Structure 1
Amino acid sequence: MKPHHGQIGAMNETEALKLMEENRFAHLACHNRDDIYLVPISYICTDGFIYSHSESGRKIDIMRKNPHVCVQVEKIEDYSHWKSVIAWGDFEELHGYEANEAMRLL
């Protein structure tokens, strides 16, 4: 049996969005000056938006100061078969009805 070598290539936007919608766990990167934070999160992706829930703490403090964030989602089958999407966006804190709707989705 010959080993199968995966191909390195870029996904199109539709494929990337599908991967993000099919998964529920990601890594979130945020920073403010010299304070860089990378943390796993659970989330849901719908209509091109990522929704996640968090208690107050370091991550929320950082994102309130600098809303620019990066999220990495992956699907790993084995060493040669994996996909990864990196998306950049801005943190937005939801309140009231919007927060309740996001929690319902989660």
Structure 2
Amino acid sequence: MAPECMKTTIHANELSDVFSFGIVMWEIFSLGDTPYPDIQSRDVDSKLKQGYKMKKPEYCDDAFYKIMLKCWHYHPNKRSGFAEVKDQLSHMFQEGPSEEHYYRSNDL
């Protein structure tokens, strides 16, 4: 949940959803871990206000983590919008994965 929605959803908007999308990305790349490990729910907002960011998941490429970080700005006006996130993801998928992510069948 975006910081601006933790007390009330009056200020919820697309940028709040962008924050949540970054959290979902983190959950996917962490293979279903619970967000904000080792932080009590009541402390999440104050930690975010202090600049806390979750660590990059083990199976996450730096480029994906960079998108997550852009989604997680505490102040909504500093977050990427969905159009920018979509463009970044589209660009990454057009480039395709590097050769190191493939196994050659004769190598198995």
Q: Return the TM-score normalized by structure 2.
A: 0.23
Q: Return the TM-score normalized by structure 1.
A: 0.24
Whichever structure has more helix as a proportion of its residues is: 2
